């Protein structure tokens, strides 16, 4: 195993080179770092790009990044193994080009690009952004668990006023470093400065769009390079990457549009837009060479990612023992948020626990979009209700359904062939995101072609849980899992699985004071339990016993005999969804006869409201 003090966080490249020199198996690097983070709290020792300023991180150190895959670029080829010749002693050594962008080479050395021992490999580059809609408490909890941050090395000076990371790194980076696999010899410091002069002449963020799906989002975007299972990830996946941070300023290739063209390989010159998009300044978009990749099943920092663990089981059993008390407390909070309407609070809870768990052909199973009509016609209510929801959920976003927004926003991602990248849209969201659509702000006006397209996109998301990405020459459906809640004055112009007129028993004069009362009633302990409960309930594997299946089928036949018009097949499917979610709300994997009767009563009361409203 690697020696060198095993400084696996500050000096991972030396360990990787040692593993390769010892000719360990192909998974040697992955196994080494996987074993390291299994140690108690070891993962918290690894700094996170999500909550650590980039300029305080040591270049080429080990970091982690919690993110969503926004785009997948074409694979890139590089020298995985290359020969370096010492010009003074004529000795030849083999070095690895894996997990780095810059080839190791001193001023007295030269890369032998003609060597037959060189090995060309490929790696996948993906563009990742912070998880869209990630709520504040999630960010803060992850940051609190992050532990002590790695301090900058003595050779790396943090950013000062009026100087970019590119400029600072230029002073201290190895003067002879070269882009991996693209050089024949090692240049002098003077030529290095010449090569990066154009990059430094421009501010690193000039005209660069970080391509975040949601407006106003902050954080660090990252180009992640994958070496194992390069086809494992797809767009919109939530992933935590652990890898080697690369921020050498030579990686930037920002080209202003008036700069003379330079021909690339075989005379091909990529468009300026593509160069700028795929090689942004690393001080703005760092590179991360992933040694470990973990798909996230959820984004709740209060629970482990692996569900079959003692910690997970213990938390489930604890909540299961106090579910009646906890559920009752949750209902009080939801009822207050919904202005005293207890029935609406019940359906609201079912909506919060809904999630797509499978598909029958094109039909998504598990979704439960909720349309609350008769809502107060004020933007404050929708804003404050969404803030309340964001305090409980891991991902949430508010979309005011105004004519202006529909005509101006890009909801569906579009392919930009000039820049060769996927331009993000508001509906490019990871799984289990809550989307609140406030239709009460809608005023009379003219929908333009883009507005009609956006309304269609919202309808497709709600009905089919899919988003149509525009690739100009064709359109492609991407499956989604987004819980949509619509607030409207009358029945929404958008479809929904459940329409419920809100019967407000109180109408506050001060909306902020009304919702502030919710905060005063929630202790930190209660909040932790509710946040854990919502995620746990969504993970339960639900099933029906043979006995209950027969009871439900017999009930359906009897209800059809009484009134076939009031119990259609769609109504029956809705009832099945209600009883499923009602069971999950009690942390039960299978319903009881009592819960089935309660589901029927809830749905009957809902229908009575609709007919009388």
CATH for 523: 3.40.50.300
Q: Same domain, yes or no, for 449 and 564?
A: no
Q: Is residue 499 in some structural domain?
A: yes
Q: Give the pLDDT of residue 89.
A: 87
Does residue 411 lie in a domain region?
A: yes
- Closest by Cα among 381, 357, 392 to 509: 381
- Judged by DSSP in three states, 109 sits in strand
- 517 and 565 within one domain: no
- Beta-bridged to residue 246, according to DSSP, are 287
CB count within 10 Å of CB 509 equals: 6
At 145, which CATH number? 2.40.50.140
* Residue 176 DSSP SS3: coil
Question: What pTM was computed for the model?
Answer: 0.87
**Predicted local distance difference test score (pLDDT) of residue 509:** 93
What is the reported pLDDT for 176?
A: 33
Tell me how far CA of residue 113 lies from CA of 84, 96, 109, 120, in angstroms: 9, 13, 13, 11
Domain end call among 295, 319, 353? 295
473-490 burial by CB neighbour count: b if 16+ within 10 A, else e? eeeeeeebbbbbbbbbee
Q: Are 177 and 183 in contact (CB under 8 A)?
A: no
What's the rounded Cα separation, in Å, for the pair 26 and 31?
A: 9
- The H or E element that residue 277 is part of is helix 272-278
**Whether the Cβ atoms of residue 135 and residue 396 lie closer than 8 Å to each other:** yes
Edge-to-edge strands, sheet with 475-479 = 421-423, 414-416, 466-470, 475-479
262 inside domain? yes
pLDDT mean for each 10 residues of the chain (613 residues): 65 91 79 88 91 94 98 94 89 91 85 90 96 97 71 35 37 37 41 35 54 94 94 95 93 58 57 88 95 96 91 95 98 98 99 97 96 97 98 98 98 96 98 98 96 98 98 94 98 98 96 93 94 98 94 90 83 96 98 96 97 89
Say what the pLDDT of residue 147 is.
59
Same domain, 348 and 485: yes
Separation of alpha carbons 174 and 14, rounded Å: 16
pLDDT at res. 24:
61
How many residues are there in the chain? 613
The tokens of 339 are what? Answer: 């202005």
**By CB neighbour count within 10 A (0-12 exposed, 13-18 middle, 19+ buried), where does 362 fall?**
exposed
463 and 388, same structural domain? yes
305 in a structural domain = no
Is 178 a domain residue? no
The answer to whether residues 366 and 245 belong to one domain is: no
Each residue's pLDDT tens digit, 57-68: 999 999 999 999
Whole-angstrom distance, CA of residue 258 vs CA of residue 419: 17
Query: Virtual CA dihedral for 342, 346, 349, 351, nearest 10 degrees?
Result: -120
Of 510, 539, 568, the position where a domain reaches its end is 539
The pLDDT of residue 268 is 66
Residue 197 sits in the same domain as residue 340: no
Q: How far apart are CA 594 and CA 582, in angstroms?
A: 11
Q: Chain centroid to CA 36: how far?
A: 25
Tokens 């989604």 sit at which residue? Answer: 480
**Cβ-contact 382, 438 below 8 angstroms:** yes
Domain boundary among 227, 262, 295: 295
DSSP character string of 583-606: HHHTT-SS--HHHHHHHHHHHHHH
Give the whole-angstrom CA distance, residue 466 versus residue 278: 28
What domain count does the chain have?
Answer: 3
Do 452 and 473 lie in a common domain? yes
Do 223 and 342 lie in a common domain? no
Enclosing domain of residue 611: 541-613
Q: What are the tokens at 579?
A: 């009883």
Alpha helix (H) ranges present in 354-480?
Answer: 379-390, 403-408, 449-464
In a domain, 91, yes or no: no
Structure-token pair, residue 57: 């991180």
231 and 341 together in one domain:
no
Distance CA 204, CA 211 (A): 15
What pLDDT is stored for residue 25 in this prediction?
A: 64
Question: Do 229 and 276 have their domain in common?
Answer: yes
Which helix (H) or strand (E) segment holds residue 134: the answer is none
Tokens of 427: 């509906």
Report the C-alpha gap between 402 and 443 in whole angstroms.
Answer: 7
List, edge to edge, every strand of the sheet that includes 433-438: 396-400, 433-438, 482-487, 370-373, 498-501
Are 409 and 474 part of one and the same domain? Answer: yes
Same domain, 339 and 472: yes
Is residue 584 assigned to a domain? Answer: yes
Pull the structure tokens for residue 417. Answer: 């062939």
Q: Is residue 112 part of a domain?
A: no
- Which residue is it, tokens 């920092």? 301
- Closest among 95, 122, 123, 98 to 110, alpha carbons compared: 95
- Non-local (6+) Cβ contacts of 529 within 8 A are 319, 326
* Token code pair at residue 432: 């289990």
């Amino acid at each position: 195993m690697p020696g060198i003090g095993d400084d696996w966080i500050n000096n991972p490249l030396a360990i990787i080179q040692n593993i390769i020199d010892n000719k360990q198996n192909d998974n040697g690097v992955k196994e080494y770092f996987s074993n390291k983070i299994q140690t108690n709290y070891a993962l918290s020792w690894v700094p996170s790009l999500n909550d650590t300023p980039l300029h305080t991180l040591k270049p080429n150190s080990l970091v982690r990044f919690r993110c969503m895959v926004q785009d997948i670029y074409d694979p890139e080829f590089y020298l995985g193994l290359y020969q370096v010749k010492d010009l003074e002693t004529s000795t030849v050594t083999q070095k690895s080009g894996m997990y780095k962008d810059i080839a190791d080479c001193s001023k007295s050395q030269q890369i032998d690009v003609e060597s037959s021992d060189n090995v060309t490999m490929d790696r996948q580059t993906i563009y990742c952004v912070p998880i869209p809609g990630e709520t504040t408490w999630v960010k803060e909890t992850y940051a609190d668990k992050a532990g002590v941050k790695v301090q900058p090395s003595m050779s790396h000076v943090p950013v000062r006023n009026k100087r970019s990371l590119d400029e600072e790194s230029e002073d201290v980076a190895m003067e002879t470093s070269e882009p991996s696999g693209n050089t024949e010899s090692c240049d002098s410091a003077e030529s290095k400065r010449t090569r990066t002069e154009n990059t430094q002449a421009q501010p690193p963020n000039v005209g660069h769009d970080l391509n975040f799906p949601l407006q106003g989002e902050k954080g660090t975007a990252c180009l992640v390079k994958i070496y194992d299972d390069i086809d494992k990830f797809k767009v919109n996946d939530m992933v935590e990457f652990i890898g080697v941070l690369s921020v050498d300023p030579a990686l930037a290739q920002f080209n202003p549009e008036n700069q003379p063209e330079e021909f690339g390989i075989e005379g091909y010159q990529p468009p300026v837009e593509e160069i700028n998009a795929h090689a942004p300044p690393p001080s703005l978009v760092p590179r991360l060479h992933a040694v470990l990749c973990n798909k996230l099943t959820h984004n709740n920092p209060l629970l482990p990612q692996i569900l079959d663990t003692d910690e997970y089981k213990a938390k489930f059993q604890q909540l299961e023992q106090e579910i009646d008390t906890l559920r009752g407390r949750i209902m009080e909070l939801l009822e207050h948020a919904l202005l005293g309407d207890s029935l609406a609070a019940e359906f609201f809870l079912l909506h919060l626990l809904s999630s797509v768990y499978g598909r029958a052909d094109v039909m998504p199973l598990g979704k439960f979009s909720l349309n609350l009509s008769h809502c107060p016609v004020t933007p404050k209510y929708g804003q404050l209700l969404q803030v309340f929801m964001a305090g409980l959920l891991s991902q949430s976003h508010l979309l005011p359904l105004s004519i202006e927004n529909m005509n101006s926003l890009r909801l569906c991602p579009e392919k930009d062939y000039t820049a060769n990248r996927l331009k993000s849209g508001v509906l490019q969201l990871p799984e289990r995101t809550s989307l609140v659509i406030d239709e009460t702000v809608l005023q009379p006006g003219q929908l333009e072609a883009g507005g009609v397209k956006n309304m269609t996109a919202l309808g497709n998301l709600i009905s089919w849980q899919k988003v149509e990405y525009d690739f100009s020459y064709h359109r492609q459906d991407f499956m989604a899992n987004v819980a949509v809640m619509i607030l409207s004055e009358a029945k929404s112009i958008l479809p929904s699985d459940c329409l419920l007129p809100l019967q407000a028993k109180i109408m506050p004069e001060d909306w902020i004071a009304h919702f502030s009362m919710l905060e005063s009633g929630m202790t930190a302990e209660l909040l932790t339990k509710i946040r854990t409960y919502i995620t746990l309930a969504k993970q339960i594997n639900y099933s029906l016993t043979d006995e209950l299946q027969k009871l439900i089928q017999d009930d359906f036949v009897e209800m059809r005999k009484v009134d076939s018009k009031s119990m259609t097949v769609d109504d029956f499917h809705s009832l099945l969804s209600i009883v499923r979610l009602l069971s999950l709300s009690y942390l039960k994997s299978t319903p009881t006869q009592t819960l089935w009767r309660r589901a029927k009563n809830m749905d009957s009361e809902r229908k009575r409201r609709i007919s009388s409203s």
